[in-house]
Amino acid sequence: MSDTSEGPSTSDGVGGLTYDKSKRQWPNELNVFAALILIIVIFELLGAIFMQQSLLFDSRDRFDSIFNEARLRIIIIQVAIIGIIAIGVTQVIITAGIDLSSGSVVGATAMIAMSFAQVAQVSGNPNPKAIFGEWALDLPVIVPVFVGLGVGLTAGAINGLLVAYSRIPPFIATLGMMLFARGVAQWWSLGNPVSFPTDAYAVIGSGMNPVFIFLGLAILFHLIMNYTVYGKHTYAIGSNEAAARMSGINVPRHLLLVYMIAGALAGLAAVILTSKNLTAQSGMGLSYELEAIAMAVIGGVSLFGGRGSIIGTGIGALIIGVITSGFTFLRLGAFYQEMVLGMIIVGAVALDQWQQKRAAARA
Amino acid sequence: MSDYILETKGLTKHYGGVHALVDANFTLERGEHVAIMGDNGAGKSTFVRQITGVEQRTRGDVIFDGAPVHFTGPLDAREAGIETVFQTLALADHLNVPDNLFLGREKTKFDWLGPFRILNYKAMRDDTMAGLVKTGVKIPNIKNSIAHMSGGQRQCVAIARTATFASKLTIMDEPTAALGVQETAQVENIIRTLKEQGESLILVSHNMRQVFDLVDRIIVFRRGRMVANLRKEDTNGEDVVSYITGAKTGAEFEGAA
Ligand SMILES: Nc1ncnc2c1ncn2[C@@H]1O[C@H](COP(=O)(O)OP(=O)(O)O)[C@@H](O)[C@H]1O
Ligand SMILES: [Mg+2]
């Protein structure tokens, strides 16, 4: 082997044997985390100036701790359910796709799953909201949970088949599913809410359970995205689909799986949401898809594909939670909050685009 | 065992009405390095895509390692022992060097987990190091995504990929077309290393100096057809150019083009 090829671009390592720490990349999640801290600091300052209170810390000695635990809990419960959807949406976006259907899939799944979760008797009388006959009442809790996952999975599979095999752009395929699933939600009980779930079903979304489920799934999918072939191929497809295909990855089959997982997670979110609210309504999940996309985008997931992480989306979810809570805390109207969120989303995408350009210019 | 590692008979590819490749009869001996030359659009890349399973041929036979083959995809060809550096780099920008080297054939644990089987990062990193050492490719930090690397480094990664896996045939489609002088020299060194190791190689190139430096034999394509098959000793640059431009056609190919 000859060693005469000492080029300028290759002179700073020896036979690939270096792990030059100074050449290591700065993880993008740290930037997102810094943004979260910055936003908290801004709210703390505004709170100290205008409210003489702290947003996240215990400033009134009401609690026996340094944090205002009640508000922290509200922040995280508030984002947990949409956060579960965002875990799936993150994977879809990493493949350079998009899923606009998740909010409507939540609506349809809520109606259908809840119909299998109803009790037979409400305070001694037959359940006035019963959708089906007696056979569907007082079923074991596993039935509505599986129905919910199944409906979500089916919707995701249809999205996936359309995107992967008929090459309909993800935007259009999932827009179609968004309208279709909302229609299903309204048709299911002709606009009537589905109520009175069994006690076992009501446990799923009670208290802090949505948060535990969200955190459990976030950790699970963080591991999957980083340590399994599924994760690697998801990034590869979003990064360079042609390269992925040439490397022998079955791209359509993989995309189908990604959209199915996203659908199943939306279905699960619907189960938790209806359990928490003890009722299902056809309008449930409205604009959840946009909030989930916002969490991912704010968390550094690139709409061009190939970049982003579950951790980033988790931090993105917290940013949205803190902003929502912060505006309530400052007693500012929800419209300001939406304006600020809108600006942050556009800013995050602009930043991503700028980073991509810079990376391309350097290479 | 057949003397030829690769043989094509009447290999033809039509894209609708475009006859991109017509009746290519090609042979490659074991350990031999052959160059394919020809104008843009002559069908060189099309030829490569037919033997590497990227596309399905219109007709003809491909005999690899003594047996007829029908690769259904590039992975199929790779598993059979054909490593290819495609003209358009088949690398994923956001992945690092080992991830790219092993893309589509990851080393894994717990394979019963199906698509969720666990990546064996350590084994892949070790093999990557070995491949980089073998080819003399130098990368500042193999854990960085390749988006931050120069064109030459990326091309070297693509080539190191072929050298990391023991292959029977390596194909490179214009590997130095977009590289500077230093980077080209490095790629050429890798090709010499492959020659010393007795690997068979097909090199698609426009670079006359490079071709005469590196290979044993030169094939010329013109408008989808093979028009010359020249031993390096029996020809020179001027001669090859006249075949490329159409001023001459090899005796055995007369009437074809
Ligand atoms: N996918 C395709 N569809 C239609 N025509 C194609 C396709 N790929 C290549 N061609 C045509 O086939 C001919 C040979 O192309 P190619 O093999 O890329 O040439 P080369 O690599 O020698 O420059 C060209 O005329 C090109 O336009
Ligand atoms: Mg070409």
Is the shortest distance between the CB of B14 and ligand 1 below 6 Å?
no
Between residues 95 and 124 of chain B, which touch chain A (CB distance below 8 Å)? 95, 97, 99, 103-106, 108, 113, 115-119, 121
Instruction: Decide if B206 touches A, using CB distance below 8 A.
Output: no
Residues of chain A with C-beta less than 8 angstroms from the C-beta of B127: none
Cβ pair B93:A239 closer than 8 A: yes
CATH class held by domain B4-253: alpha beta
- Is residue A6 assigned to a domain? no
Residue A3 predicted with pLDDT over 50: no
Whether residue B28 contacts residue B211, with contact meaning beta carbons closer than 8 Å, is answered with no
Q: What confidence score (pLDDT) does residue A22 get?
A: 58
Task: Report the gap between the CA of B136 and the closest CA in chain A (Å).
Answer: 5
Mean confidence (pLDDT) of chain B? 89
Whether A132 is covered by a domain: the verdict is yes
Give me the pLDDT at residue B113, please. 94
- Tell me the residues of chain B between 4 and 43 that have a Cβ less than 8 Å away from chain A: none
Taking an 8 Å cut-off on Cβ atoms, the answer to whether B92 and A244 are in contact is: yes
Q: How far apart, in whole angstroms, are the C-alpha atoms of residue A102 and residue B172?
A: 44
Which residues sit opposite B36 in a β-bridge? B204, B219
Q: Is the confidence at residue A108, as pLDDT, over 90? A: yes
Candidates A11, A17, A25; nearest CB to B144: A25
The CATH number of the domain where A133 resides is what?
Answer: 1.10.3470
Which chain B positions have a beta carbon within 8 Å of A254's beta carbon? Answer: 115
> What is the least distance, in Å, from the CA of A349 to any CA of chain B?
18
What token pair was written down for A1? 């082997």
Classify residue B5 as exposed, middle or buried by CB count within 10 Å of its CB (0-12, 13-18, 19+): buried
The pLDDT of residue A209 is above 90: yes
d(CA B13, CA A175): 39
Task: Assess whether the C-beta atom of B203 lies below 6 angstroms from ligand 1.
Answer: no
Identify which has the larger pLDDT, A8 or A59.
Answer: A59
Residues of A in contact with B163 (CB under 8 A): none
Looking at per-residue pLDDT, the higher value among B8 and B141 belongs to B8
Does A333 reside within a domain? Answer: yes
Tell which A residues from 292 to 321 touch B, by Cβ distance under 8 Å: 306-307
pLDDT of residue A60: 65
Q: What DSSP element (H or E) covers A65?
A: none
DSSP E strands: which ranges in B106-206?
108-109, 118-119, 169-173, 200-204
Residue A234, domain member (yes or no): yes
**Would you state the pLDDT for residue B76?**
87
Span of A132-136, A279-283, B235-239 with lowest mean pLDDT: A132-136
pLDDT band, very low/low/confident/very high, at A7 (cuts 50, 70, 90): very low
A254 touches chain B (CB under 8 A): yes
Give a yes or no: residue A40 inside a domain: yes
Reported confidence tier of residue A20, pLDDT bands at 50, 70, 90? low
Smallest CA–CA distance from B103 into chain A, residue: A247
Q: Which residue of B has its CA nearest to A1?
A: B193
The mean per-residue pLDDT over the stretch B44-71 comes to 94
Q: Is a pLDDT exceeding 80 seen at residue A90? A: yes
CA distances from B82 to A11, A283, B6, B97, B160 (A): 30, 56, 10, 20, 14
* Ion ligand 2 residues within 5 Å by Cβ: B 45, 87
B171 or A60: which leads in pLDDT:
B171
Number of domains in chain A: 1
pLDDT digits (tens, 9 = 90+) for B83-136: 988 777 678 989 999 999 899 889 999 999 999 999 999 999 998 888 887 777
Q: Take atom 24 of ligand 1 and give the residue whose Cα is closest.
A: B41
Q: What would the mean pLDDT of B167-171 be, rounded to a whole number? A: 90
Q: Above pLDDT 70, what percent of chain A? A: 90
Give, using CA atoms, the residue closest to atom 4 of ligand 1. B15
With bands split at pLDDT 50, 70 and 90, how would you rate the model's confidence at A254?
very high
- Angle at the Cα of B242 (from B241 to B245), degrees rounded to 5? 85
Q: Given this model, what pLDDT does residue B1 score?
A: 59
pLDDT of residue A196: 93
Residues of the domain holding A201: 28-47+63-354
Name which of B92, B137, B144 is nearest A239 (Cβ-Cβ): B92
Confidence band for A13, pLDDT divided at 50, 70 and 90: very low
Between CA A262 and CA A264 the distance in angstroms is 6
Ligand nearest to the CA of B21: 1
CA of B163 to the centre of ligand 1 (A): 28
Tell me: the pLDDT tens digits for A40-53? 999 999 998 988 88
Which amino acid residue places its CA nearest to atom 10 of ligand 1? B20
Q: E-assigned strands of B38-193?
A: 59-64, 67-68, 82-85, 108-109, 118-119, 169-173
Q: Which atom of ligand 1 is nearest to the CA of B38?
A: 22
B103 Cβ inside 6 Å of ligand 1 = no
pLDDT > 90: what percent of chain A?
65
Tokens of B134: 């073998």
Task: Judge if pTM exceeds 0.80.
Answer: yes
Give yes or no for residue B46 CB within 6 A of ligand 1.
yes
**Confidence at residue B164, expressed as pLDDT on a 0 to 100 scale:** 77
Q: Does A111 touch chain B (CB under 8 A)?
A: no
Whole-number Cα distances in Å, A259 to A158, A358, B95: 8, 31, 22
**To probe the interface with B, which of A3, A9, A362 has the most B CB atoms within 10 Å?**
A9
Pocket test for ligand 1, best of B45, B85, B171, B173 (most atoms within 8 A of CB): B45
Task: Please give the distance, rounded to the nearest whole angstrom, from the Cα atom of residue B40 to the centre of ligand 2.
Answer: 7
Q: Is the pLDDT of residue B222 over 70?
A: yes
pLDDT, averaged across chain A:
89
Chain B residues 39-68 within an 8 A CB cutoff of chain A: 54
Ligand whose nearest atom lies closest to the CA of B223:
1
Length of chain B (residues) = 257
pLDDT score, position B51: 95
Residue that wins the pLDDT comparison between B166 and B209? B209
Q: What are phi and psi of B19, to 5 degrees?
A: -90, 80
Which pLDDT score is estimated for A5?
36
